[in-house]
């Protein structure tokens, strides 16, 4: 499902009485293998693409190779094959094993080489030709060739493979053509500004000589032939997955990669319950812990390790894309088909009180479907929706909903009643506050809480009245799947409310062929204003920073998460600092304090 790439689930149930899923006795789990030694690179420096001969402006020149970082994963992946399962941990691991044709520069966002050393785009933007870097090798020493690119395309497009999410993108392209062993070209059927990036930086190339003839749907956990900087060396179901840095990675001597991929070992440790994982982190069994809960940040991130600065509690502000979360109202249902009713629901939500009383004042109210456009000096043109019972009552009356003798709102003899479809007991407290206000106006509503699988199945079929959904975002905004009318009835798409606006459709179609970023952003802002006025969601709140907890034994670049990065940046750019670790161990042993650190870090343009 396309929406599985975007929808961010918040479904971990707290428990204080569960046993650990990992333990020190797990074979190999806590044992750091011998230091990985880089093999001499015998290539010709003149063959390194120009952009990769430059210094990486995000990486630190002080970074060192070695050591380990242990990262929390809230469940063991169904598969480590990202083409088959788009789980977050799967994505992080798979993209450490396999590589795309191009990448984004971490500061300018310009396209830079990866497996492709160069490319050519036809003047009409319909043909893309890629020239592979002939230094690129698979881990078994065989070269990466055009045959591998064609095989990857064929694998994704094979309807027998569970790769439907990626087929959506590739259906815009004709079958690629092998020009020679290291040159491949693609032609696109329809012009779109994101065609090149969807192809070059989102598709990870597979080794034909390893996967050919196998049932791709069964290729889930063993990937002995890779091209990326890491390889899988060990995994135990429901416990951990261990990666090891490759000392023979083909790009190891490219100057742009100096200061990147520093850890000799990356361990993803699995804890099925958040409360258990947090206790494991506090014990030192996990090294880095991103915090998504205000309760955890305010109430749980306490104790001696925090008081003595052994653990850093750090907010990082950068230009990471921010999505939105809110309560989707299904306009396919009669009760929410009237815009006035949807607006009334928004006015019944006391966001400020919810944030202050239930979320410790940690968040900012969201008044845009693209809130990160307005984190700087630019003013948000959308007027904030305030808590206003009087206005909500008036809107409902205008929509034909009037109280009967018992005070229950009715229209055409039918009471105003609906069901909220939920997937997380922790969110019920927010719905409860809303339902109390709704009841005062004569609205009857209840909450139906399902497990994630059942919730997802219902939402995919748009079988709900109202539900909580949280969406991610990208640096380059593409509003089509979220708001275009053609996705309102197609199951499993992100247009959950079923919004259909011809003006928005026209703007989306216009945006598709606009290659100027500033103009494209301007169109998206116009779309945002139109959608905002339709109230498809009760918009809630967002966090303009990333909250991190980590044990202080790591070196970092000056900006810990880069310009656009999230917590995954740590495994790519941080490094194990032996001196810091020695100081930490001594402080823990002596019950003494470590020095101060930056509790708040901000990107400065």
Domains of the chain and any CATH numbers: 50-84+228-314+546-604 (3.40.190.10), 99-220 (3.90.76.10), 325-542 (3.10.105.10)
Separation CA 355–CA 540 (nearest Å):
9
**DSSP-derived secondary structure for 290-346:** EE--HHIIIIIS-SHHHHTTSEEEEEEE------EEEEEE-TTSGGG-SHHHHHHHH
The predicted pLDDT at position 492 comes to: 84
Secondary element (H or E) of residue 460:
helix 452-460
The predicted pLDDT at position 7 comes to: 38
Instruction: Using pLDDT thresholds of 50, 70 and 90, give the confidence band for residue 428.
Output: confident
The predicted pLDDT at position 532 comes to: 98
Instruction: Using pLDDT thresholds of 50, 70 and 90, give the confidence band for residue 33.
Output: low
Instruction: Using pLDDT thresholds of 50, 70 and 90, give the confidence band for residue 328.
Output: very high
**DSSP-derived secondary structure for 247-260:** TT-TTTT-GGGTTS
The predicted pLDDT at position 8 comes to: 36
Give pLDDT tens digits for 195-226.
999 999 999 999 999 999 999 999 999 999 99
Residue 208 phi/psi, 5-degree rounding, is: -60, -45
The predicted pLDDT at position 366 comes to: 97
Q: What pairs with residue 120 in β-bridges?
A: 129
- From residue 437, alpha-carbon distances to 139, 273, 325, 344, 431 in Å are 61, 33, 21, 11, 10
Instruction: Say if residue 399's pLDDT is above 60.
Output: yes
Separation CA 428–CA 494 (nearest Å):
23
The tokens describing 111, both together, are 């396209």
Mean pLDDT of the chain: 92
Give pLDDT tens digits for 152-178.
999 999 999 999 889 988 999 999 999
Q: Which ranges of 181-257 does DSSP label H, i.e. alpha helix?
A: 195-200, 208-211
Extended beta strands in 389-533, E state: 402-403, 409-411, 414-415, 417-422, 444-449, 466-471
Separation CA 300–CA 297 (nearest Å):
6
Separation CA 111–CA 199 (nearest Å):
12
In sign, the C-alpha dihedral spanning 88, 93, 94, 95 is positive
* Cβ atoms within 10 Å of 238's Cβ, excluding its own: 11
The predicted pLDDT at position 453 comes to: 81
Give yes or no for a contact between 280 and 74, defined as CB atoms under 8 angstroms apart: no
Instruction: Using pLDDT thresholds of 50, 70 and 90, give the confidence band for residue 3.
Output: very low
Give yes or no for a contact between 447 and 423, defined as CB atoms under 8 angstroms apart: no
Pairing of strands 102-104, 111-113: antiparallel
Pairing of strands 265-270, 288-291: unpaired
Separation CA 235–CA 27 (nearest Å):
10
Residue 11: partners with Cβ closer than 8 Å, 6 or more residues away: 423, 424, 452
Lowest mean pLDDT among 161-170, 233-242, 460-469: 161-170
The predicted pLDDT at position 490 comes to: 86
Of 69, 93, 118, 317, give the one whose Cα is nearest residue 223: 93
pTM for the complete prediction?
Answer: 0.88
How many CA atoms within 13 Å lie on the side-chain side of 407?
Answer: 6
Pairing of strands 466-471, 600-602: unpaired
| Strand, helix or coil for residue 473 | coil
Instruction: Using pLDDT thresholds of 50, 70 and 90, give the confidence band for residue 9.
Output: very low
Instruction: Using pLDDT thresholds of 50, 70 and 90, give the confidence band for residue 25.
Output: very low
Instruction: Say if residue 524's pLDDT is above 60.
Output: yes
Of 322, 292, 601, 324, give the one whose Cα is nearest residue 475: 322
Instruction: Say if residue 566's pLDDT is above 90.
Output: yes
Give pLDDT tens digits for 526-554.
999 999 999 999 999 999 999 999 999 99
């Amino acid at each position: 499902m396309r929406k599985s790439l975007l929808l961010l689930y918040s479904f971990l149930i707290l428990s204080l009485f569960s046993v650990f899923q990992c333990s020190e006795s797990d074979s190999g789990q806590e044992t750091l293998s011998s230091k990985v030694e880089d093999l001499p690179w015998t290539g010709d420096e003149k063959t390194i693409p120009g952009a990769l001969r430059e210094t990486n402006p995000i990486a630190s020149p002080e970074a060192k190779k070695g050591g380990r970082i242990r990262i929390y994963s809230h469940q063991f992946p169904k598969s480590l094959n990202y083409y088959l399962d788009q789980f977050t941990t799967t994505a992080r691991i798979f993209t450490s094993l396999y590589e795309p044709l191009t990448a984004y520069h971490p500061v300018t966002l310009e396209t830079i080489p990866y497996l492709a050393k160069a490319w050519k785009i036809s003047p009409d933007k319909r043909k893309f030709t890629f020239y592979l870097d002939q230094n690129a090798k698979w881990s078994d020493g065989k070269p990466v060739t055009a045959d591998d690119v064609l095989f990857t395309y064929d694998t994704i497009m094979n309807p027998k493979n569970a790769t439907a999410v990626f087929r959506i993108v590739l259906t815009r392209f004709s079958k690629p053509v092998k020009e020679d062993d290291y040159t491949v070209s693609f032609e696109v059927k329809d012009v779109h500004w994101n065609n090149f990036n969807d192809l070059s930086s989102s598709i990870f190339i597979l080794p034909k000589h390893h996967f050919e003839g196998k049932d791709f749907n069964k290729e889930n956990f063993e990937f002995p032939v890779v091209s990326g900087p890491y390889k899988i060396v060990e995994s135990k179901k429901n416990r951990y997955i261990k990666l090891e840095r490759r000392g023979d990675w083909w790009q190891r001597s490219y100057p742009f990669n100096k200061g990147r991929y520093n850890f000799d070992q990356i361990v993803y440790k699995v804890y099925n319950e958040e409360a258990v994982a947090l206790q494991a982190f506090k014990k030192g069994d996990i090294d880095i812990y991103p915090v998504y809960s205000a309760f955890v940040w305010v109430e749980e991130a306490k104790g001696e390790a925090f008081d003595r600065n052994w653990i850093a509690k750090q907010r990082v502000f950068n230009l990471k894309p921010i999505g939105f979360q809110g309560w989707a109202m299904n306009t396919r249902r009669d009760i929410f088909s009237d815009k006035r009713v949807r607006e009334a629901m928004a006015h019944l939500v006391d966001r400020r009180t919810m944030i202050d009383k239930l979320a410790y004042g940690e968040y900012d109210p969201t008044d845009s479907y693209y809130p990160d456009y307005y984190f700087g000096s630019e003013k948000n043109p959308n007027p904030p929706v305030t808590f206003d019972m009087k206005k909500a009552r008036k809107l409902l009356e205008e929509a034909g909903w009037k109280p009967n003798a018992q005070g229950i709102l009715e229209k055409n003899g039918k009471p105003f009643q609906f069901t909220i479809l939920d997937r997380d007991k922790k969110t019920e407290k927010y719905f409860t506050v809303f339902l109390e206000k709704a009841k005062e106006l004569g609205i009857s509503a209840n909450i139906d809480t399902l497990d994630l699988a059942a919730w997802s199945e219902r939402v995919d079929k748009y079988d709900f009245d109202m539900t909580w959904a949280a969406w991610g975002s990208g640096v380059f905004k593409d509003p089509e799947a979220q708001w275009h009318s053609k996705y309102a009835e197609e199951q499993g798409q992100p247009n959950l409310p079923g919004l259909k606006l011809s003006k928005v459709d026209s703007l989306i179609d216009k945006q598709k062929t606009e290659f100027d970023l500033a103009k494209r952003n301007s169109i998206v802002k116009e779309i945002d204003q139109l959608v905002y006025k339709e109230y498809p969601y009760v918009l809630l709140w967002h966090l303009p920073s990333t909250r991190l907890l980590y044990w202080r034994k790591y070196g970092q670049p000056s900006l810990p998460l880069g310009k656009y990065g999230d917590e995954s940046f740590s495994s790519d750019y941080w490094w194990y600092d032996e001196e810091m670790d020695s100081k930490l161990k001594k402080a823990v042993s002596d019950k003494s304090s470590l020095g101060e650190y930056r509790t708040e870090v901000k990107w400065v343009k």
